[in-house]
């Protein structure tokens, strides 16, 4: 990409010599670079939105950030869709592109999977970038911390989507686990124990299967799981207690990669990761 520059040298402020030039505007770009500018603009907007969430959490705490993002996000998505609809020529109905409403269920599911896989791609490229610059330990530390923020956020969005009450119990958790982004990527199963508790198994994990295909050892994801699953369950219902049955680097059968046990605590205390499991880390 060429930037238009004048040949003359002009006297700048404070007696400094500077090159006079006419900056290239977006309007001056060729088709490809204009398209790249649009894609980069969307990227900047996404990062800026995330920075707002991060800063509000820093200033006011996670619960406040979740509450304010709900208001900002609901309003913002509707405004953005209406504006994009006018520019790109698609109808918007109740904040949803009409094209999306008219798609066949199979098409929507394919789109949902593509979005979910792209989410995992974003997670993976960030992990690799930190690992390459700072090493595996720091990459895992950042990863685990991100799960501490994302897992409750995803639970809140799913509770809103499904209209779950404040304390929907294990039935609500079972429904919410089926709505996670991971549910569109991995194969998972759940069943009820005889005492009414819930057991969850990740039967096929996209990340671990890829590593196995390459002849690599299991990725030791237990430290992230001990954040991800308890935080998710506790956000769905604060009475839920989470126990890790097994998660790499733990040994596991061929039928699952990780397994988790959820129950309602018998007393009035808030849900937490079981003390026995925490001691085994």
For residue 177, being part of any structural domain is answered with yes
Q: How many domains does the chain have?
A: 1
For residue 12, being part of any structural domain is answered with no
This prediction's pTM = 0.83
Chain-centroid distance, C-alpha 21: 43
pLDDT at 8: 41
pLDDT at 99: 93
For residue 21, being part of any structural domain is answered with no
For residue 153, being part of any structural domain is answered with yes
Report the SS3 class of residue 267: coil
User: The domain that contains 168 carries what CATH number?
Assistant: 3.30.1380
pLDDT at 277: 45
pLDDT at 146: 94
Report the SS3 class of residue 132: helix
pLDDT at 1: 54
For residue 187, being part of any structural domain is answered with yes
Chain-centroid distance, C-alpha 112: 14
The pLDDT tens digits of the residues spanning 27-44 come to 988 899 999 999 999 999
- Residue spans of the chain under pLDDT 50: 3-15, 270-281
pLDDT at 23: 66
Domain residues for the domain of 264 are 107-279
For residue 186, being part of any structural domain is answered with yes
Spatial separation of the C-alpha atoms in residues 205 and 185, rounded to whole Å: 8
For residue 202, being part of any structural domain is answered with yes
Continuous segment of H or E residues that includes residue 93 = strand 92-93
DSSP state of 271: P
Among 189, 193, 183, 161, residue whose Cα is nearest residue 264:
193
pLDDT at 24: 80
For residue 38, being part of any structural domain is answered with no
Cα R_g (the chain), whole angstroms: 24
pLDDT at 266: 82
């Amino acid at each position: 990409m060429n930037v238009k520059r004048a040949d003359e040298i002009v006297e700048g402020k404070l007696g400094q010599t500077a090159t006079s030039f006419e900056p290239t505007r977006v309007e001056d770009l060729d088709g490809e670079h204009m398209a790249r500018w649009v894609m980069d603009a969307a990227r900047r907007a996404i990062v800026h939105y995330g920075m707002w969430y991060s800063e509000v959490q820093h200033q006011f705490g996670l619960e406040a950030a979740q509450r304010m993002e709900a208001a900002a996000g609901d309003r913002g998505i509707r405004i953005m869709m209406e504006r994009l609809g006018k520019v790109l020529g698609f109808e918007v109905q109740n904040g949803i592109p009409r094209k999306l409403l008219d798609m066949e269920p199979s098409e929507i599911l394919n789109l949902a999977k593509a979005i979910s896989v792209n989410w995992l791609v974003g997670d993976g490229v960030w992990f690799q970038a930190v690992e390459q610059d700072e090493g595996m330990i720091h990459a895992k530390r950042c990863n685990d911390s991100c799960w501490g923020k994302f897992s409750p956020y995803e639970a809140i969005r799913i509770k809103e989507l499904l209209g779950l009450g404040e304390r929907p119990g294990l039935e609500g958790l079972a429904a919410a686990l089926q709505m996670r982004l991971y549910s569109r990527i991995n194969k998972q199963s759940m069943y009820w124990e005889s005492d009414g508790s819930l057991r969850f198994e990740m039967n096929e994990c996209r990340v671990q299967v890829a590593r196995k295909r390459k002849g690599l050892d299991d990725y030791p994801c237990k430290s992230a799981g001990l954040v991800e699953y308890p935080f998710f369950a506790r956000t769905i219902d604060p009475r839920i207690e989470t126990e890790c049955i097994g998660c790499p680097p733990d040994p596991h059968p061929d039928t699952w990669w990780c397994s988790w046990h959820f129950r309602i605590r018998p007393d009035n205390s808030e849900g937490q990761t079981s003390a026995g499991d925490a001691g085994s880390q």
